[in-house]
Amino acid sequence: MAYKYFEQYHDETTETLKKGYQDIIGAIGENPDREGIVKTPDRAAKAMQFLTQGYEMDAEKILKKAVFNETYDEMVVVKDIELYSLCEHHMLPFFGKAHIAYIPNGKIIGLSKLPRIVDVFARRLQVQERLTHNILECLNKTLQPKGVAVVIEAVHLCMMMRGVQKQNSATTTSGFRGQFQKIETRNEFLKLISSDLK
Ligand SMILES: Nc1nc2c(ncn2[C@@H]2O[C@H](COP(=O)(O)OP(=O)(O)OP(=O)(O)O)[C@@H](O)[C@H]2O)c(=O)[nH]1
Ligand SMILES: [Zn+2]
């Protein structure tokens, strides 16, 4: 995991979140002083800061660290980028995979920066549609490629553990700019992301 050693907790935020989690634990009928739970508000406060760390990150800055001039002008595809986010309606996880492609226009991007920007936008309260567009627009603006495409496939725990309780439905969202608006280019991308080559 990229952020295994994340330690940017803010004391004030931790305290505020801790109080909130203590109230939640009491409100659901648990004993906040029970041995196994006494440290839970502190752990949960830190977990929530980890899961929402994207608010403090600047995606454009991260991308600009690794932009290289190159004449390669074929499609670049990075697929199966795992993502974990929180739905903004229930604050429950949704998770799945992102597939990203772009066609360079004189500049290529360091490959690891693509998963990094997925995380920047995923580690916030989100809806899948906005997450898809955030990634798409950020790449389009920063790289100004000939085309960019983003597909996200995800499952939402708010539809599985509660609510409609549907265990087998997945949601796909997509966005296409530039040359990916042409059907042949889009189809080539969709074919590449559906192949089993790992
Ligand atoms: N479009 C979209 N909807 C989402 C996403 N995550 C959760 N939702 C939906 O947000 C909606 C919120 O609807 P409400 O009727 O206000 O909430 P609710 O009463 O808890 O709804 P149910 O989940 O149907 O029980 C639900 O339909 C969720 O399925 C997302 O990423 N995109
Ligand atoms: Zn939800």
ipTM: 0.88
Is the C-beta atom of 129 inside 6 A of ligand 1? yes
> For the domain with range 11-51, which CATH number is right: 1.10.10.60, 1.10.286.10, 3.40.50.970, 1.10.150.300?
1.10.286.10
Q: How remote is the CA of residue 67 from the centroid of ligand 1, in Å?
A: 38
Identify residue 92 by its one-letter amino acid code. L
Beta bridge partners of 95: 84, 155
Q: Which of 141, 95, 137, 142 is nearest to 119 (CA)?
A: 95
Using alpha carbons, list the distances in angstroms from residue 113 to 37, 70, 91.
38, 17, 26
> pLDDT for 151-187, tens place per residue?
999 999 999 999 999 999 999 999 999 999 999 999 9
> pLDDT for 53-104, tens place per residue?
999 999 999 999 999 999 999 999 999 999 999 999 999 999 999 999 999 9
Using alpha carbons, list the distances in angstroms from residue 192 to 21, 80, 162, 186.
44, 11, 35, 10
List the strands of the sheet with 171-178, edge to edge: 125-126, 76-87, 93-103, 147-156, 171-178
**Ligand positioned closest to the Cα atom of 90:** 2
Domains in the chain: boundaries? 11-51, 56-194
56-194: in CATH 3.40.50.150: no
pTM of the full predicted structure? 0.93
Helix, strand or coil, per DSSP, at residue 151: strand
Known catalytic residue at 87: yes
Helix, strand or coil, per DSSP, at residue 112: coil
